[in-house]
């Protein structure tokens, strides 16, 4: 567990005991246009795109998972629209079942079993509910911000906002691991005390949850970097909590007040890079086009399988 928590520090990974060839996934991952990874490559253009010159591999910027030596990484091992290398721990990433389990108002009330979990966190309106729904392919298993309260299995699920209940929502995936929906942060009009409340609530969860594999920190790529996201990233980095940056709304290339997602992502990475000895994994997603969904699930599978095989 401690080993996994040091994901963001410079460590040498042990050789995996259970190997699954990453090559088995080739062909399952949708192809993306490498100039604009927001756009999948049309089927007819795929052959031509293979013939195009490969971009240069900047190894220093990659997230290299356990079981892979940096010098052996090739372009084909990097998930499109991300800096994530697929390694031998990647496994079956499909979600076949997703069940809402419970809402907890305190970290100590969360499910008490040994199943690994991924916590999803981000600013209010970042697209967290949409991403959870897209990952599990179940409309409205999580809430969208337009519906702050709804009943699922007779249990009230609440999206936190200033003055509303903060709840940790557990979704059991394939009866073997959890997706955990944490309250959104950064409501523009939240009071100081509400913000502090969010802080102690979620920090308590992060620091005490032994089964936490990684935090998916959602960042809206359609707007320039926000200080509150940088603060959250810095806090997680300082506390050595393994995380993946999931950039949302990468389909929003026009209009709005922000610049292009690719520029915003680059700027965000520049701003956080001093906090990490090794580059944390990041990936571009869109709940509208499905960009990054399968890739993110594959990445989660390799984190999970490594965690399963190295749990202390």
Should residue 253 be labelled a site residue for ligand GDP when binding is judged by CB under 6 A? no
- Looking at the Cβ atoms of 183 and 237, the one nearer to ligand GDP is 183
Residue 169 touches ligand GDP, criterion: CB under 6 A: no
The distance of closest approach from Cβ of residue 283 to ligand GDP in the complex, given in angstroms and rounded to an integer, is: 13
Q: How far is the CB of 157 from ligand GDP (least distance, A)?
A: 12
- Chosen residue from 41, 98, 126, 213 binding ligand GDP by CB under 6 A: 126
Nearer to ligand GDP, 253 or 269 (CB): 253
Task: From 22-30, 31-39, 204-212, 284-292, give the range in contact with ligand GDP by CB under 6 A.
Answer: 284-292
Q: Under the criterion CB under 6 A, does residue 219 sit at the interface with ligand GDP?
A: no
81 φψ region: left (φ > 0), alpha (ψ -120 to 50), beta (else): left
Q: Which of 248, 264, 301, 305 binds ligand GDP (CB under 6 A)?
A: 248
Strands (E), 202-300: 212-220, 243-248, 282-284
Stretch that binds ligand GDP, among 11-19, 22-30, 80-88, 286-294 (CB under 6 A): 286-294
Site map 104..123 versus ligand GDP, x via CB under 6 A? ------------------x-
Using rule CB under 6 A, residue 252 touches ligand GDP: yes
φ, ψ for residue 249, nearest 5 deg: 60, 35
In terms of DSSP bridges, do strands 177-181 and 243-248 run parallel, antiparallel, or are they unpaired?
A: unpaired
The CB-nearest residue to ligand GDP is: 127
20 lies in the site for ligand GDP, by CB under 6 A: no
- Helix then strand then coil, in percent of the chain rounded to 5, is 35, 20, 50
Kindly state whether residue 130 participates in binding ligand GDP, applying the rule CB under 6 A: yes
Which of residues 129, 166, 244, 302 is near ligand GDP by CB under 6 A?
Answer: 129
Q: Is 286 in the site for ligand GDP (CB under 6 A)?
A: yes
Residue 80 near residue 37 (C-beta atoms within 8 A): yes
Instruction: Return the number of the residue (15 or 146) whose C-beta is nearest ligand GDP.
Output: 146
Q: Which of 67, 81, 88, 127 binds ligand GDP (CB under 6 A)?
A: 127
Give CA–CA dist 303/62, Å, rounded: 15
Residue 53 CB contacts under 8 Å (≥ 6 apart), including other chains: none
In 3D, which of 303, 218, 213, 202 has the Cα closest to residue 268?
Answer: 218
Name the E strands within the chain: 98-104, 117-122, 149-152, 155-158, 168-173, 177-181, 212-220, 243-248, 282-284
> Which pair of structure tokens corresponds to residue 159?
């999206």
Given a contact cutoff of 8 angstroms between Cβ atoms, the answer to whether 281 and 63 are in contact is: yes
């Amino acid at each position: 567990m401690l080993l996994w928590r040091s994901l963001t520090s410079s460590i040498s990974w042990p050789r995996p005991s259970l190997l699954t060839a990453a090559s088995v996934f080739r062909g399952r991952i949708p192809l993306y246009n490498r100039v604009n990874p927001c756009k999948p490559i049309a089927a007819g253009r795929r052959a031509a795109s293979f013939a195009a010159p490969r971009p240069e591999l900047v190894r220093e910027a990659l997230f290299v998972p356990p079981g892979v030596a940096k010098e052996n990484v090739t372009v084909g091992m990097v998930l499109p629209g991300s800096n994530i290398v697929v390694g031998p721990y990647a496994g079956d990433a499909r979600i076949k079942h997703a069940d809402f389990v419970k809402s907890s108002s305190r970290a100590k009330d969360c499910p008490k079993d040994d199943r690994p979990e991924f916590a999803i966190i981000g600013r209010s309106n970042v697209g967290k509910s949409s991403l959870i729904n897209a990952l599990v392919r179940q409309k409205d298993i999580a809430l969208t911000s337009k519906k702050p309260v709804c009943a699922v299995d007779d249990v009230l699920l609440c999206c936190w906002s200033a003055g509303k209940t903060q709840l940790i929502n557990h979704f059991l995936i394939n009866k073997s691991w959890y997706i955990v929906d944490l309250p959104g942060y950064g409501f523009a009009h939240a009071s100081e005390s509400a913000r502090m409340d969010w802080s102690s609530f979620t920090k308590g969860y992060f620091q005490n949850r032994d089964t936490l594999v990684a935090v998916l920190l959602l960042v809206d790529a359609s707007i320039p970097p926000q200080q509150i996201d940088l603060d959250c990233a810095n806090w997680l980095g300082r506390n050595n909590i393994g995380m993946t940056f999931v950039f949302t709304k990468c389909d929003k290339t026009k209009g709005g007040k922000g610049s292009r997602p690719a520029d915003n992502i680059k700027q965000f990475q520049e701003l956080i890079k001093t906090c990490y000895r090794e580059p944390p994994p990041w990936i571009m997603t869109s709940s509208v086009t499905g960009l990054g969904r399968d890739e993110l699930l594959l990445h989660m599978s390799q984190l999970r399988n490594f965690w399963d095989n190295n749990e202390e």
